[in-house]
A and B are shown apart, each in its own frame.
Chain A
Amino acid sequence: MTRSTSTRSTSTRSTSTEDPRIGWVYVAPAVAIVLLIALFPLAWTLWESLHQHDLRMPWLGRPFVGLANYAEILRDARFWGALGHTAFFAITSIALELVLGLFLALALNETFRGRGLVRAAVLVPWAIPTVVAALLWRFMFDSQAGIANAMLVRIGVLDQPIVWFIRAATAWVPVILADVWKTTPFVALLLLAGLQNIDRTLYEAAATDGAGPWWQLRHITLPLLAPAMLVVLIFRTLDAFRVFDLIYVLTGGGPGTSTEPISIYAFNAMLQNLEFGYGAALSVVIFLVTFTLAVLYIKGLGADVGGRR
């Protein structure tokens, strides 16, 4: 960074009387703020994660333990369980959201009366705060008064009402459904933006050559929508890996810990149990996992996006 600035300043010095150091002075406050609010907490968390530091056990002090916290994470069955739950949640919900979002986007891309109104109405679930949405779904899946049981019994899928939140398999149902319900509009909106970027004339040309709608979808729409889908994937994966409020309200991570995602586990260690050292190590691991995912996406699919621009 320093080198590029200095080269530029040598080349501009002949035409400008400004001292390049003045530039640094001007950006110094901004740099300081970035250091203070982004890098400092990150560095502090890293440093903290190398200590055994339990706020509630001052008699243990705050000894430096090197990578012991990380070694413990690798041995921690609850951590691996949480990672697995997070991955399961991310894959299932994103797959559903992508498919449903695509259908929705295609429908919204057609011209029909009141399209503007429908487009706005579709966004309503996205606009509801997650905690409120989660509470709504919790009520709907309540074992006695919930509408889910009533409907499933009426149409004969269930013989009798079931208690959704006491089995791992059934507890996931409201969680995934709530996320899909809430986030599909967002996915659809991003995909709709992508659809509108596709040149209309391509479809006209294809239609002239006798291509049907299915062929057009497979060979024009989907390939040209890939960049928008990548954006959706990145956004949603990172979001899903940080899922917290939805599951916190719906299942609290239960039954047992069978729907607990890593964010709730880290929250628990850090803020409920005030295990700052171990909690910091968990946060660093979460950061590394999401960072790796982001890099993989950009590397694996990003070149494609860049090429199309």
Chain B
Amino acid sequence: MVLSRPSPCVALRVALMRVALCAICLAACDQRPSGGSVVTISGSALGTEGAVLRRQIARFRAQHPTLRVEIQPTPDDATQRHQLYVQWLNAHAGAPDILQLDVVWTPEFAAAGWILPLDRFSPARDSFFKATVEANVWSGKLYAIPWFVDVGLLYWRTDLLAHAPASMAELVQLAREGMTAPGGARYGIVWQGARYEGLVTVFLEHLGGFGGRIMTGDGRVVVDSPEAIRALTFMRDAIYGSRIAPQEVLTWHEEEARFAFQNGSAVFMRNWPYAYALLAGGADSRVRAKFAVTTMPAAPGGRPTAALGGAQLALNAYSRAPDSAYAVIAYLTAPAQMLERAEVVGQFPTRPALYDDPRLTAALDVPPADARRAIESATPRPVIPIWTQLSELLQIQLHRALARQTSPEEALRTAAREMNALVERTRVRELMAGTVAAGTVTTEAVER
């Protein structure tokens, strides 16, 4: 070696100093700027949604000069956002303080202890739609404030039909009439039938219409009930029996269905409210002023049911500034901000009182009375922490039955068996009854 080596002692000291320096750097970087707290919010921040959020936050900051509020961008795709949240919260990350949650995530995050119960801030539960509150309650406590509500709507063509269907049987009959009428549409009804969460929401609406449900109050899956089999058989017959729905629906999501309806190719469409503005005002819409919305009708013994979707705001359990963060949540979910969102983005407010407000009539494309009726018949998907996994099992079996790989009875029996096994294995029922708290199972299981 040409270079003379430093003595090991010196080398060691240099190395130690470097490590110490790095540690100081890291600690310094982790520190938040002092003076006033910072609140971060994560949610849909693209397009008009992002613009209205930024505007509202700017207004909030003008009222609260000591508080800094920042938007933390997250992917708009729900699955990706969910993955990110789960990873962050597993690592006990304190930011974002405010999480925009999909309606089916609240119980999952609440059961995991990742979000805070909000009751100590005493939000007025009864100023929101009942279904939207129900979806956000876990073991009696409210965990998120409903921000805007999404609801399944039945779009129908006013130029082909004289009135909306009052029953499932009439839906089929009117669809056929609309198809055979002069200048009629190619398809009777279009919906979301690809193998994803959308299919489950469509099924849920049929299920409710036939008087069935997915789960009992004590967490037992009952999708193999006679009502459920009738509902799935009805959906399958719509494709292969009465042929009002094209086979293509089994590959369709929201947008494919909207394209078909927008081109004038369908008498009915099941879709979310977002489609309304595009159909009513879109330059390439062929159904402008030729359609209206209602809810999915019911068969005897059932009741009209709309799937509930939408977004809520929740408080990160590891947040360092929960009080300031709640102030932001309260501001964003206040009536004035909801009206502004309705006007700019077309999203439905979660406060029923606003539906009598003339400003909402001016803001929304959908007649508020129709929207309100749909929201009042909305049913949340089962409020259970493992919903996404249960839904996946159900999606596969629904799709198999609709693709005629198996019969509706067989498919739903398999789905119920698999779903109940998962409920059993994950001990969710005990969790729901409150006999298991987060973390208590670990030691027990290890001992076994």
Contacts and interface: CB of A to CB of B under 8 A. Distances in A.
The size bracket of the interface on A is 20 to 34
Interface stretch (B176-184, B209-217, B300-308, B383-391): B383-391
Contacts of A56: 86, 108, 112, 385-386, 388
Interface in B97-149: 108, 111-113
A213 interface: no
Given A58-B113, A63-B445, A256 B251 contact: no
B300 to A, nearest CB: 31
Contacts of A69: none
Contact of B426 (A55, A60, A144, A166): A60
Contacts of A165: 250-251
A64 B440 CA distance: 15
A252 interface: yes
B247 A166 contact: yes
A272 interface: yes
Contacts of B113: 58
A109 to B, nearest CB: 42
Contacts of B436: 59
Given A166-B403, A256-B400, A273-B392, A57 B248 contact: no
Contacts of B108: 56
A255 B79 contact: no
Contacts of A274: 83, 86
B386 to A, nearest CB: 7
B248 A256 contact: no
Contacts of A20: none
Contact of A58 (B389, B427, B439, B446): B439
B34 interface: no
Contact of B438 (A54, A58, A252, A256): A58
A32 interface: no
A59 B112 contact: yes
A62 interface: yes
A59 B403 contact: no
B247 A143 contact: yes
A271 interface: yes
B403 A167 contact: yes
Interface string A34-70: 0000000000000000001011111111111000000
Nearest to A272: B79
A256 B86 contact: no
Interface string B393-433: 00011011001010000000000000000000011000100
Given A64-B446, A166-B403, A255-B405, A58 B112 contact: yes
B442 A61 contact: yes
A184 interface: no
B250 to A, nearest CB: 4
Interface in B188-204: 194-195
B21 interface: no
A57 to B, nearest CB: 6
Contacts of B79: 272
B381 to A, nearest CB: 16
Contacts of A143: 247-248, 251
B387 to A, nearest CB: 10
B10 interface: no
Interface residues of B, number: 41
Contacts of B445: 52, 60-61, 63
A217 interface: no
A168 B405 contact: yes
B25 interface: no
A59 B438 contact: yes
B405 A57 contact: no
Contacts of B448: 63
Given A60-B427, A61-B442, A255-B405, A273 B389 contact: yes
A256 B90 CA distance: 32
Contacts of A257: 396
B437 interface: yes
Contacts of A152: none
B27 interface: no
A289 interface: no
Contacts of A52: 445
Interface string B56-88: 000000000000000000000001000100110
A168 B250 CA distance: 13
A222 interface: no
A62 B442 contact: yes
Chain B CB count within 10 A is highest, among A60, A252, A257, A271, for A60
A255 B247 contact: no
Nearest to A62: B442
A255 B196 CA distance: 11
B441 interface: yes
Given A59-B436, A255-B400, A256-B399, A163 B195 contact: no
A279 to B, nearest CB: 13
Interface string B356-381: 00000000000000000000000000
B439 A255 contact: no
A273 B388 contact: yes
Contacts of B87: 55
A268 B113 CA distance: 24
A55 B108 CA distance: 11
Contacts of A168: 405
Nearest to A257: B396
Nearest to A58: B112
Contacts of A64: 446
Interface string A263-298: 000001001111000000000000000000000000
A256 B405 contact: yes
Nearest to A168: B405
Nearest to B265: A144
B386 A55 contact: no
Contact of A255 (B111, B250, B386, B389): B250
Interface in A24-38: none
A277 B111 CA distance: 20
Given A55-B90, A56-B86, A61 B405 contact: no
6 contacts: A56-B86, A59-B440, A61-B439, A254-B195, A255-B195, A255-B405
Interface of A: 52, 54-64, 143-144, 163, 165-168, 252-258, 268, 271-274
Q: List the 5 closest pairs (A to B, CB-CB), nearest first.
A: A61-B442, A63-B445, A256-B400, A255-B403, A59-B438
Given A256-B399, A274-B86, 8 more contacts: A58-B112, A59-B427, A64-B446, A143-B248, A144-B248, A163-B246, A163-B248, A163-B250
